[in-house]
Amino acid sequence: MMKLAIVETKLLTREPGALFSLLIPLFILVVFGSSIEPGDTVLLPMALAIAVGLVSLYLLPTTLATYRERGILRRLSTTPVRPGNLLMVQLLLQLVLAVTACGLLMAVAGTVLGAHLPSRVLSGVLVFLVGTASMFAIGLLIAALAPNGRAANGIGVLLYFPMAYLAGLIQPTHQMPAIVAAIGEYTPLGAFGRSMRDVWAGSAPSPLLLGVMAAYALVISIAAAKFFRWE
Amino acid sequence: MAVIEVTDLRKRYADLTVLDGVSFSVEEGEIFGILGPNGTGKTTTVESVEGLRRPDSGSIRVLGLDPFEDGPKVRELIGVQLQQTQLPENLKVWEALDLYASFYAKPHDWRELLEEWGLADKRNARFGKLSGGQKQRLFIALALVGNPRVAFLDELTTGLDPQARRATWELIKQVRASGVTVVLVSHFMDEVEELCDRVAVFNHGKVVAIDSPAGLVGGEHRMRFTLMAGDMVGLEGLPGVTGVSREGDRVVVSGRGDFATAVTAHLARHQVLVSDLRLDRRTLEDAFTALTGRSFG
């Protein structure tokens, strides 16, 4: 199990996609960061949502669907190790990657850009965990339904843009049609971004939005487990 | 001692009967072939024995254990090379062996396997950069890294060039020599003829014959010629000859062993002139066609 984790970590570091998931949100942060006002509470939460979105919609489903497509999960089922272990290791690793991406963003924003970091640390961690769980559930569902790695990649990218738009990551929410912005707030990524902005603004995250994210995480991951095929 | 005992396996998918009462046993230390065209239940049978696919009915014993009841124990004792599996592109050869070795309680030293399977100079190469033959050797090494008592090799040489196939065959003989029982799934006649001690011939979800390749071929050959001059007498009584038939001046003599030498010597002694002399050796392919009524695609 330990060796599996080490090998999978090595493989992740050799995956260019992992580097992109770290660098794209950082790039956006730095480009837009130069023009923000001190005390900005929008840009950093936005970058965090982009990072979590990329990992869960792009990297996670592509990796898992590729493992199934290449028969790696099936090959593993002929050994004393259960293929479920590989899924667990992958989930943990992708979580670590998401945490790393967010940590990197906060470190750069907090030091170089002098951005505002929230005082409500626990609330921030809670929002991160529940929001990431709901996004990972979507990634797992894509992995369950996609026939192969390529398809998983395509579906992930196709889902990413509308979700990012609804979450106000492409156009600021106050410039969006009110109804779209209102709906967007209840999408997984939208609820995540909104709750993060609340935390950044110094208020408690909305229990309703936390509940919405938790519900997404639960329902979608049950669906993913139901549809998942090992081969 | 029987290492694998399979009794009356049956499996249906909707309207399709995949396994229709498959039974056979594999003895310790042999290379047991499972031969048949694609879609005759070979892979389903082997995957059932490996515990990957549950048959509708029938019993399976691997080293006395049930692969579904005693799955963890069975998986410690078997090594598997599956048809059409890959590894992650970026996984290095040594990492793959080291990783798979860590799955087993008593693994083989993977450094030795690297040497034995000619992968030592590729130890740091990534899987995606290996040639077909190198990948195949790595898969066999991975099937052996757990120190298995039985190794299952499915369509081992598909996609390899003739030279790589021959090299792989030599390696499989080494595996048997090291005391591992091998179950070899194949749809190549020459491969089965070269390697297997015994073969189960599959057709339409059934085992239609189990015998050694020589036993399946039957050892009977035919000699054909056209009579030019002289008359032939007494061919029937020659050693090894089992039958003589004549149609006009076309003659067919069937027989076993060295009957052809006896026949030609006899014809020469009686000053019989023949032309178009041909000796047909029956092959495993002929035997297969006779058994299943279908030719091999």
Structure ipTM? 0.88
3-state helix, strand, coil in chain B (%, to 5): 35, 35, 35
CA distance B130 to B119: 10
- Kindly state the average pLDDT of the residues B252-265: 85
Give which of B51, B165, B244, B60 is closest to A77, Cα–Cα. Answer: B51
Is the torsion defined by CA of B129, B130, B135, B137 positive or negative? negative
Specify whether the CB–CB gap between B88 and B97 falls below 8 A: no
**Greater pLDDT, B216 or B110:** B110
Strands of the sheet with B273-280, listed across from one edge? B241-247, B250-256, B220-229, B273-280
**CB within 8 Å: B75 and A3:** no
Phi-psi region of A73 (alpha: psi -120 to 50; beta: other; left: phi over 0): alpha
Interface of B with A (CB under 8 A): 50-52, 72, 75-76, 78, 80, 82, 84-88, 90-91, 95, 98-100, 102-105, 146
What are the phi and psi torsion angles at B181 (to 5°)? Answer: -75, 135
Tell me which of A29-38, B65-74, B255-264 is least confident. A29-38
Contact A71 B85 (CB under 8 A): yes
Whether the per-residue pLDDT at B297 is higher than 60: the answer is no
Residue A213 has pLDDT above 70, yes or no: yes
Mutate to test the interface with A, among B43, B50, B53, B90 (most CBs of A within 10 A): B90
Interchain contact, B88 vs A67, CB within 8 Å: yes
Mean pLDDT for the stretch of residues B147-168: 87
Look at residue B155 in the predicted model and tell me its pLDDT: 84
Cα separations in angstroms, A181 against A104, A173, B152: 29, 6, 58
Residue B31, helix vs strand vs coil: strand
Q: Which residue pairs from B167-170 have beta carbons closer than 8 angstroms and sit at least 24 positions apart in sequence?
A: B167/B133, B168/B133, B168/B136, B168/B137, B168/B140, B169/B194, B169/B195
Q: What is the pLDDT of residue B201?
A: 92
CA atoms within 13 A on the CB side of B146: 28
The pair of structure tokens assigned to A22 is: 């770290």
Q: Which residue has the higher pLDDT, A118 or A94?
A: A94
Tell me the CA distances in angstroms from B152 to A148, A231, B47, B143, B146, one per residue in order: 26, 19, 9, 8, 13
Residues of B in contact with A11 (CB under 8 A): 88, 90-91
The pLDDT value recorded for residue A67 is: 93
pLDDT score, position B295: 64
DSSP 3-state of B143 = helix
Compute the average pLDDT of residues B225-245.
Answer: 84
- pLDDT band for B199, please (50, 70, 90 cuts): very high
- Total beta-carbon pairs less than 8 A apart between chain A and chain B: 56
The single-letter DSSP state of residue B98 is: H
Please give the model's pTM, rounded to 2 decimal places. Answer: 0.84
Residue B83, Cα to own-chain centre: how many angstroms? 15
| Residues A29/A115, Cβ–Cβ less than 8 Å | no
What is the rounded average pLDDT for all residues in chain A? 91
Residues 70-89 of A with CB under 8 A from B: 70-72, 74-75, 77-81
End-to-end CA gap in chain A:
22
Judged by DSSP in three states, B38 sits in coil
Residue B296 pLDDT level (bands cut at 50, 70, 90):
low
Q: Are strands B220-229 and B250-256 parallel, antiparallel or unpaired?
A: antiparallel
User: Which amino acid appears at position A69 of this protein?
Assistant: E
Residues of B with CB below 8 A from A74's CB? 52, 82, 85
Assess contact for A23 and A108: CB atoms under 8 A: no
Report the residue count for chain B.
297
Task: Determine contact, residues B72/A82, Cβ cutoff 8 Å.
Answer: no
Per-residue pLDDT band for A190 (boundaries 50, 70, 90) equals: very high
Q: Yes or no: say if A156 and A20 are a contact pair by the CB < 8 Å rule.
A: no
Give the pLDDT confidence of B34-71 residue by residue, as tens digits: 998 888 899 899 999 999 999 999 999 999 999 999 99
pLDDT, greater one: A226 or B254: A226
Comparing CA positions, the residue from A141, A69, A53 lying closest to residue A101 is A53
Pick the more confident residue, B233 or B170: B170
Distance from CA of B10 to the nearest CA of A (A): 21
* B237 — pLDDT class (breaks 50, 70, 90): confident
Residue of B296 and A177 predicted with greater confidence: A177
Please state which of the ranges A118-127, A177-186, B124-133, B253-262 shows the lowest mean pLDDT: B253-262
Give the ranges where chain B is alpha helix by DSSP (H).
42-49, 71-77, 93-101, 110-116, 132-144, 162-177, 189-195, 213-217, 259-269, 284-292
Q: Which pLDDT does position B104 carry in this prediction?
A: 95
Torsion of CA A120, A126, A128, A133, to 10 degrees: -170
Task: Give B52's contacts in chain A (Cβ within 8 Å).
Answer: 74, 77-78
What six digits make up the tokens of B124?
């740091």
Lowest mean pLDDT among A180-184, A195-199, A216-220, B258-262: B258-262
Q: pLDDT tens digits, residue range B16-36?
A: 899 999 999 999 999 999 998
Spatial CA neighbour of A131 closest among A192, A212, A51:
A192
Q: How far lies B292's CA from each of A51, B16, B40, B78, B186, in Å?
A: 60, 19, 11, 31, 16
CA distance B67 to B80: 14
The string of pLDDT tens digits covering residues A11-35 is: 999 988 888 888 999 998 888 887 7
Whether the per-residue pLDDT at B289 is higher than 90: the answer is no
Q: Under a CB-based contact definition with an 8 Å cutoff, are residues A45 and A195 in contact?
A: no
Residue B142 has pLDDT above 90, yes or no: yes
Question: A78 pLDDT exceeds 90?
Answer: yes
- SS3 label, residue B220: strand
Residues B106 and B64: beta-carbon distance below 8 Å: no
What was the pLDDT predicted at A65? 94
Please report which confidence band the pLDDT of residue B288 belongs to, taking 50, 70 and 90 as the band edges. confident
Kindly report the nearest CA distance between residue B139 and chain A, in angstroms: 10
Greater model confidence, B235 or A73: A73
pLDDT digits over A163-174, tens only? 999 999 888 888
Per-residue pLDDT, averaged over A58-78, amounts to 93
What 3 state SS string does B238-283 have? CCCEEEEEEECCEEEEEEECCHHHHHHHHHHHCCCEEEEEEEECCC
